[in-house]
Structure 1
Amino acid sequence: MGLFEPANYALHWVSVPYLVVAALLLLLLGYGLFTRGDPVMRMAFIAAVAAGTVYAAAQAAAASCVDPALAARWYRWMIAPLALIGPAVFTLLQGEQVQLHAFRKLIGAAAAIATASAVVTLATDWVVAGVWRTDAGLWNAVAGPLLEVHLANLVGWSGAGAIAAARRARTAGGAYARRRYLRFAAVTGLIVGGSVDLLLAHGVGSVPLAWIPALAATGLLVATVHRIDVIRKRGRDDATPWELAIVVAIGGVAWAVAGAPRALATAAVVVAMIAGHAAVGAIRRRAARRRDRVGAVVERALDAFDERCTAVTAIEPLQDAVRDVLEGALGLQRARVLPAGDELLGRALDARVRAWLHVNRAPLARDRLGVERLGGLRAPIEALFAALDAAVVLPLLDRDTLVGVIATGPRADGRPLLDSELDAMARLQDSAARALTWLRLYREATQRAEDAREVEVAAAVQRARSAGVTERAVGACRVVAHYLPAGQFGGDWWAAAELADGRTLVLVGDTTGHGVPAALVTATVEGACEAAQQLLGASFGLFDLMQILNRAVLSVGRTRYLMSCFAALIDPEGPSVSFANAGHPFPYVCGPSGLRALVSRGTPLGIEPEPRIAVGRMPLAGGDTIVLFTDALVESESERGERYGDRRLQRVLRARGAAADPAELCAAILDDVRVHCGDRPVREDITLVAVQVGMPS
């Protein structure tokens, strides 16, 4: 008797729920066949649904079969595909968590074992030994020696997937993600629950009960697919209708060969081909209309983006234009442009990934990394996504140079990007890369113009503070200063001024670096010093002065340029000297009473808003000379690389400073430095100031 002859069947109510399950699974199978998506996720989805469809249809047929031999065949067809469902479900759940790369070999081995187990089920009686008649009058499978081993493929892999999904639901961020994983866990748990009919195979029970969890799982899966993009849809697969039409045509030919009238067979083939062609045309037209509607919005956004990019002079308008496309038109979140010099991008972008992006310029979607063959680059690429908190990364390359990236979060509803949307992003990449290059060139041109203005200012400052020797009386003191710049624009400076109360203020400073920036910092501090004298007036004090100078250095240097500074305030009545130090070498006082150092410690100016400044005081005698200098004097090196040093300076001061004229003392010090250096050129600015204190009135 034939497998499909109606006489072999009598409809039983148990067949009805299984037929409903089979019908629902056929709908899902059509969805998987007609929808393009992630290749691995789509294949796993189709495998699981197809296996479930065969299982449900075979169980419905077996429940209504009256012939025991045919019932045994149906049960083998019912039980065989169950082994394939477990690995397919596990693959889907790991792909959902972007973990396919970690389980690739394990999934391959599981699929091979499940396939072998299915073949054994169909070809032998080791899994299904036969059938027995239950009290309800139904034929049911009798367990073979390998039935439990066969079903372990379903229960083991599905159970592992359900546990992983449940754990993921507890740690997932956001209510949407938690509901997503809980749905997957529930569907998988119900699939495992279908193994309850294993008891019937061992003679326990009378009616199959697996239809209850099967119907619940199928209904929940339909709802899940409706709400959640399980296979990461990228578009419609227009080739599938043609493939189905070809299958129908081949079936018609086979039917004709089997003995059907040739004219009828030919007509069947023609009708199948025409119907397939019509179906393809209808699907393509509908898909095209939908793409046109969505594409028109994106196209308008891209046109507006191109226009805005032609006049970008700052990063903020470019950021806004990118958000209008990615957030406004495509529905993504947290879109932002990171130029190549961005600090976050610099930390996150591994050198190997940077080189890889030069070759692979296409947009990178985080949910597609699981099926990409990345090898040793997988970890740094995943680290890049994590550091940028991004779901999509768009490398921006212009003339084979990585000028930045665009990072964006996922859609609020979790939908993945279609291929057409990624194509639109590729156009966005090109325009944004050109805009970043234009912005960099604009900034460079603006900076060059600003540098030219700064050079003019620095040159004016340098002319006002010309190299050479300065000698003049300041209040009750005689000041001699030597300034030897190492380049066109130096960072050393000194100042001397008589205050309204008759005290004499002397300062020496040294800015880090050379060139225009150092000269500008120096000019700013000199101006701040003059302003402080007028601002503080009669309440003038060194601590307040240093605070004002520190704010000036911070405002211009922005912690990139610092300044050491020593300030001395000489009171002719006494006489005495008050002094404050901000990271500068200690000056010396030489006179009849010997050599002394003005020791005071503090942090350089420009490091922090509130620098540590200590103010000291020392009594003086009439005729004492205070020698102030910058560190380049004691750090000058000989041809053998030996430093001049404080000890050699002290020897000169002890030998010449007791009764020397300040001009002669400065000349003696500099002559000794030149002898020490020999033919080696001076690489740093040298400033030397000698202040001789007058006799008290």
Structure 2
Amino acid sequence: MPSHLFADRTAGQPPERGTVDALISQTRRLRGDVDAVRRDAVVDEDDPQGRWQRALCDLAVHQLDDLGAQLGQLKEGLPEGPPAGGQNTRPAEEPHRASPDEPPRTGSLLSRVGSAQWNLLTDEVTWSDELFQIFGRSPGCGPMSLDELPSVVFAEDQALLTAMVTGCLIDGKPIDGEFRIVRTDGRVRTLHMMGEPVLDSDGCTASMWAVLRDVSELRRSERAVRETRESLRRRHDIEQTEHRMAVELQEAVLPPWRGSLRFPHGGPAALDLAGHYLPSESSAMIGGNWYDALELPDGDALLTVGDLTGHGVSATSSMAMLLGALRGMAVAGISPGPLMEHLNRLLEASAQPALGSAVCCRYSPATGTLSWAQAGHPAPLLFRGGTGRALARPEGLMLGATPRTSYEQAEVRLLPGDVLVLHTDGLTRDAGADPFGAGGTDRLLGLEPRFARARDAQECVRSVVEEFGACPREDDACVMVARIGDPSERTTP
């Protein structure tokens, strides 16, 4: 059975952290043992078997060093930046498949390692059986001489091979490097070559021996790690860009006013308005929440909050389209109920189908009447005379749920001093134990004493943010407070 320590053999499932620590310790111990065997070995230069054993120890040390580094990366996790060394430009290799005359691979080290010796005095060349398999060369064709070897080497790697062989034969340098070959069946393999010159009694190079290891699977695994890491880095960059675009689009669409907004100007029935956007616990979850207030040509005021399903640029762009249409229809004088019907048909026919909830209110300061409709949305909360309550919801399905549906419209008379709170369900849904947000709504209604002491709508919003801003929130949320009556005409208790 192949050892589980081979770095180019994938595990059946992701290891736990304790398992990785144990593997690192085991690899270090094994590396030390192999290194000790290599140091203690006394090798006769005339003994090919001894040179072979020493070379295998060298390769094993290299392999264990690579394995230790890879396990260390696995323990530390994915780096934030791009991998060292830049992008991989090596051409892709084809998977190695056994040919009919090639025995199946077992995954052991010996099945991927072959040896060779080139005698410079007699021109005799000796290859092991494994090396013929690695090159995909029939033993009947005989081994390749040093002059023939470059013919199967990638053109880009021929200079490297020539330099290694020349350095070994002329300068007596050991060989340690990699190059790619094209086998006779057309498959590309990466070989790691290690070798040394064999000197005669005069100190001249008499022959060169080498051990060649097929490291194609290992290098392919390393390349897959680099490419995956680079892909994740690019994905992270794309997500950051999309998040920034969604934030910018949201900021461009939501009301530009900060603090309190007052219209119509002055009078006991004027509106004092303030709104706030609360992001989700994950800042990347920018959704389609909105709040809006608009003074209409006839002196009425439009108040609306809503939420579209989804997140990112798609949700915010759909929100921008829907809010623009809502504003245009309100300016044209369409009342909340029919307006919701038009929004439903618009969203259902959109190129980016989505579901949405919304509440739309039209307030007449002349009569103090609030006309409103909702589409699967929490009802506005009315605070008056020391108590708070949710208004009775008229019928209305979520936007985009069905092509043709009607939306009922309700009316309520607002009095000076009343506080009206509009919010999306993300504000209260995660704040209480009830999955429908009932617990969060009770907490919101419990803010009535603080609303009564507040000097303006902005202070009411600040109380909401203090109460709900620190709550873990899976979705973003909006809240808008409308207070009836100009705060400048009130006296602070």
TM-score by length of 2: 0.43
Higher relative contact order (CA 8 A, sep 6+): 2
Flag the structure with higher strand content. Answer: 2
TM-score by length of 1: 0.31
Flag the structure with higher helix content. Answer: 1
Larger Rg: 1
